[in-house]
Chain A
Amino acid sequence: MNHRARVNPIACEAHGMCAELLPERITLDEWGYPIIDGAPLENRQVEHAIRAARACPTFALLVERDRAPAPARARRGERRS
C-alpha cells in the first residue's frame, strides 16, 4: 500500500515545519506554502513524513494511504435491504 504526503491547503498557514522535516519531498514556495511531491513515499521516508505531519502546528500535512478505487468503496457502503 503506497503512502503519499498531501497538504490541506485550507488548514495550512505556511509555518514551514514540513519542509524542515521532510526536505526530500517538500519545498516551500515564495510565500512559504509547501510544494509537495505527490509521488508515493519511499518506505524510509514514511516515518519522516509522519513526524512532519505531527509537527505541523495546524495539522495541515497529511500522510495518506492510497484509497481503494471509488466503485469498490461505493459497493462497501451499499444500503441494506
Chain B
Amino acid sequence: MNTLYPMPAEPLTPTAYQRALGLPRLLAGIRAHGALSLEDHVAIHGPLPASGGRGRRRARERASMLVEQIERSGLLGHGGAAFPTATKMRAVAGARGRAIVVVNAAEGEPASRKDRTLLETLPHLVLDGGILAAEAVGADEVIVCACESADIGIESVTRAIEERAAAGSERSPSLHVATVPANYVAGQESALVSYLNGGLAKPTFTPPMPFEQGVRRRPTLINNAETVAHVALIARHGASWFRQLGPPSQPGSMLVTLSGPLAHPGVYEIEHGSSLSSLIQAAGGTTTRVRGALVGGYAGAWVDGDLLSGVALSNEHLVAHGASLGAGVVLLLSEHACPAAETGRLARWLASQSTRQCGPCVHGLDALAMTVQEIAGGIAQAGAGQRIERLASLTARRGACGHPDGAVKLILSALETFEAEFADHAQHGPCDSCARPPEMPMPHRAVSQDASRGARR
C-alpha cells in the first residue's frame, strides 16, 4: 500500500478534536480544494498589521518591535532544526548590507506534504509572513522557493502574488517565486543559496553563513514556509496568544504530515506536545497494526510500535525516544511491511541523495547501505554489526551539510528499534514480506549536474 506519493491532501477541514483545542490556527478556513483568495484570507485573519508608516526610523522601530514579539512568542523554525526564529532574524538584521528573505518551501523530505499544502491552500498567509519577515530584517525582496514537483503550489503562490499586485498592495518588498530541484538536499540552506545564485543546488562549505552572505552576497534570512505563516499570525494576535498552546519550551501549533496505514492520512495542525494517539485518532485510526513510527522524517528516528501510545509530539518529550519533530513528519509502518527490507532500500536511497561532494558522505553512506542490505538479505559477514558502528562514526559529522548525520541517525535507529527483525534476517535471510512493494516513499530524481543549475535571477 503505497499511499504516500502522491499523497491525498484530503482531511484538511478541521476535526472536532482540533476545534476543541483552539485549532486550527494556520489551517483556519481552509478548503478541501483550491487556495484561499486574498479576500477570503483577509476575511478570516484580518489585514496585515500596519507597517509603521514611512520613514527609516519608524520602519526600524517597527522591525525591532516585531522581532521582540517573535522572540517573546518563542517561535522555533519548522523546517527541521527548531532554531529560534527571532535569533535568526537578529543575525540577519545586524549583518552589513540590504537583506533578502527566502521562504523555504523546497520540502525535499519525501514523507512531508505540509509546505506544499501551505502553498496550495494558504498562499496569502505564507506571503504575509514573508513580508513581515522582510520588514523585520529590513529586506526589500522575498523569494518563495518551491519544489519543482509542487506544480499546484507554484501556480497558487504565483497567482496570489498577482492578486496582491492587482489589489495595489502598499507593502514594499517585492515578491518572487523560484522553483528548486526535487532533491532531498536541495532545501538545505546553503544549497538553496547556491542555487538562487545560479549555481548547483548543492550545499556549500561555510562560513560565510547565509545570514552574513547569502543570495547575491546579501545577508539572507531563510525561513521555512510554515515558520513565516506562524509569524503572520503572531504579528496579528501577539506573543501571549501564540503561547496559549504548547509547552513553554516549544509553544504554538504545528503542521504534521501523517502517513501510513490510516483511514485519513494527510496534513494536520496539532498543538505541540499533544499525544500521537490523539493525532492518529483524528486521522480516523489505523487500518492495521503498526510496527513503528518514523518521527521527524528521513533524518529522524523510529519509535517502536508498542510504545506509540506514550508518545507526545514535542521535542522535549521526543528526546527520550532519541527523536525530534524535524519538519513535522510522522510515518507509520504497517505490520505487513518488512522493516529490514524497508531500511535497506531507504539506506540505499539516502546514499543516492548524497550530492557526492564530500568523501565521507559518498563512501560512508554507500558502505552503510551495502552492509544494511547484506544483513537484510542474510548474506552479511560476521561482525557486520561492528562494521555498521564503525561506518556510522566515520560518516556522521564529516560532511559540509547535515545529510550524512541524519542518514546515519535514521539507519542506527532502525537497527536498534527493529533489532529482532534484523537478527532474524541475518540468520534466515529474506522474509515473506521482503518482496512487498515499499511503504516508505523514495522519489527518484537523479542529482544531475546540469539539470540542477539555477538560473541567475
Docked-complex contact B359 and A33, CB < 8 angstroms: yes
- CB-CB < 8 A to B58: which residues of A? none
Interchain nearest-CB distance for B68 vs A (Å): 16
Closest to A75 in B: B94
Interface residues of B in 356-379 (CB under 8 A from A): 357-361, 363-364
Q: From DSSP, what is the main secondary structure of chain B's interface residues?
A: loop
Q: Which listed residue, B97, B138, B399, touches A9 by the CB 8 Å rule?
A: B399
Instruction: Determine if A33 and B94 form an interchain contact, defined as CB atoms under 8 angstroms apart.
Output: no
Within 8 Å of chain B (Cβ to Cβ): is A11? yes
Residue A74 CB within 8 A of the other chain: yes
Complex partner residue of B96 from A10, A29, A35, A79, CB under 8 angstroms: A79
Q: Is A70 an interface residue (CB 8 A)?
A: yes
Q: Is the CB of A77 within 8 A of B357?
A: no
Q: A8, A12, A30, A74: which contacts B394 (Cβ < 8 A)?
A: A30
- CB <8 Å contact, B94 and A10: no
* Contact partner, A74, options B90, B138, B400, Cβ 8 Å: B90
Indicate whether B45 reaches chain A with its CB closer than 8 angstroms. no
> Whole-angstrom distance between the alpha carbons of A30 and B367 in the complex?
11
Question: Assuming A74-B90, A79-B138, is B95 touching A9 (CB within 8 A)?
Answer: no
Size of the chain B interface, CB-CB below 8 angstroms: 23
- With an 8 A cutoff between CB atoms, is A21 at the interface? no
Is the Cβ of B90 less than 8 Å from the Cβ of A12? Answer: no
User: B205, A10: Cβ atoms under 8 Å?
Assistant: yes
Q: Which residues of A contact B398 (CB under 8 A)?
A: 9, 33, 35
Contact status B360-A29, CB under 8 Å = yes
Tell me whether A9 and B359 are in contact (CB under 8 A). Answer: yes
Beta-carbon contact of B91 and A9 below 8 Å: no
Query: Which residues of chain B from 370 to 395 have any CB-CB distance to chain A below 8 Å in the complex?
Result: 394
Q: List 27 A-B contacts (CB under 8 A).
A: A9-B205, A9-B357, A9-B359, A9-B360, A9-B399, A10-B205, A10-B358, A10-B400, A11-B205, A12-B358, A12-B359, A29-B360, A29-B394, A30-B394, A31-B359, A31-B360, A32-B359, A33-B359, A33-B363, A33-B398, A73-B212, A74-B91, A77-B212, A79-B94, A79-B96, A79-B138, A81-B56
Mark B residues whose CB is within 8 Å of A: 56, 90-91, 94-97, 138, 203-205, 212, 357-361, 363-364, 394, 398-400
Which A residues are closer than 8 A to B by beta carbons? Answer: 8-14, 29-33, 35, 70, 73-75, 77-79, 81
| 7 A-B pairs closest in CB distance | A74-B94, A9-B358, A33-B359, A77-B96, A31-B363, A10-B357, A8-B205
